[in-house]
Amino acid sequence: MSGPLRAARSSAQIASDSGDDTAIRTPSTRGVVLATLATTAVVVVLGLLTGTAVILLGLLVFLPAFAAALCSPRQTAMVSAWVILVVIEPVVLQPGERIVDRVILAVFAVGFGTLAVYGARVRITREGALVRLRSTAAAMQRQILRPLPLLTDDVLVDGVYEPLQEDKLVGGDIYDVVATPWGTRILIGDVQGKGLAAIGMAIDVVGAFREAAHREPTVTALVDALEAAVVRHNDYAGQRGEPERFVTALALGVDAGTDTQVVGCGHIPPYLLHEGAVTVVGEGDEHVPLGLASLVDAPRTVAWFPFPAGSTLLLCTDGLTEARSREGDFYPLEARLGGRVDITAGRLIASLVDDVRDFTAGVQQDDLAVLAVRRAPHRAP
């Protein structure tokens, strides 16, 4: 990865058709042919050497079952046909002793081959449906998350978003940046759960943020509007019999002043990178996640911290802080930021993403959302 990341990225491979073999990754036909021939050769040679050809040929009957788990229906049918030919050939051309065993074996070969082709078709159909659903979810998410970088009078925001996008579908990480009459409002959050239900909550939260950011003059009032949006969404979800969800979030207000406001809602606090030092800001002032405010008596409050010109704030979700190495160690974010203080926002993001991939040996365990907020030179209020 090189240079600033120009858009929020998705790691999913979008299928272009409606569920045929091309939508699912399968082995190459050449590889399937070579593997089938090699397996057959091993079985035949062992049968000739040991004098148990009928018994060992019986092992080939199960070969289509392995093909059904990995290959396309066409490839599975090819393997099944080959196995049937190999098993039936002695019955037709070499009748003799143990002919009954050979006939039974041939019948099983035909039966298992037919079932294997059917099983491959069922698997491809299900995987195709999953790919289409995942593609729909990814497309919806790309519509609600604005491309990066984003520039306002107060900050330059660069970053990356990479959903996990495996069998759990895309996740609920969200972010947004809005220029308002009261300065720049920044949101980063993580919706509980994954899939289309989580994206539905994400759409409501981001929509509420974009509308309230222009209406509410304070960050605490903005967060209260987000809380109300989450509660309304949960009310509608409860009417449909769906589980309620909460959202961890961080809302910031950056204006022409030297200090910046932050309201934490159960989210990872930001890291301030300035003059060779890394500082956690707003720590200790976190409140409960959005959707759970009714469980506590204390209202949400705003924390203030200095955000000097030329410094950078790093915002992230737990996909970064909870990334694990093969040994099970968590990614040491604060320590890794120490050597990346005085670089541009784009280079910081690219360097961190490359580093966490090396740390996890390329295995992504959760959605990854990281924002680098670069403070512009101070302007007159």
322-334 pLDDT per residue, tens:
999 989 899 999 9
Facing residues of 3 across strands?
A: none
Facing residues of 262 across strands?
A: 252, 303
| CA separation for the pair 339, 70 (Å, rounded) | 45
Q: Check residue 142 and give its pLDDT.
A: 65
Torsion angle, alpha carbons of 67, 72, 77, 79, to 10: -40
Q: Is residue 73 a contact partner of residue 114, using CB atoms and an 8 Å limit?
A: no
Question: Coil, helix or strand for 94?
Answer: coil
Q: Letter for the amino acid at 227?
A: E
| Band of pLDDT at residue 136, cut at 50, 70 and 90 | low
Mean pLDDT throughout 75-90?
A: 84
Output 139 or 32, whichever has higher pLDDT: 32
Q: Is residue 323 a contact partner of residue 359, using CB atoms and an 8 Å limit?
A: yes
Q: Check residue 44 and give its pLDDT.
A: 77
Q: Check residue 3 and give its pLDDT.
A: 38
Mean pLDDT (the chain, rounded): 82
Q: Letter for the amino acid at 171?
A: G
Q: Which residues contact 86 (CB under 8 A, 6 or more apart)?
A: 40, 44, 57, 60
| CA separation for the pair 54, 120 (Å, rounded) | 27
For residue 149, say if its preceding peptide bond is cis, omega within 30 degrees of 0.
yes
* 6-30: burial string, b at 16+ Cβ within 10 Å, e else: eebbbebeebeeebebebbebeeee
Q: Is residue 192 a contact partner of residue 253, using CB atoms and an 8 Å limit?
A: no
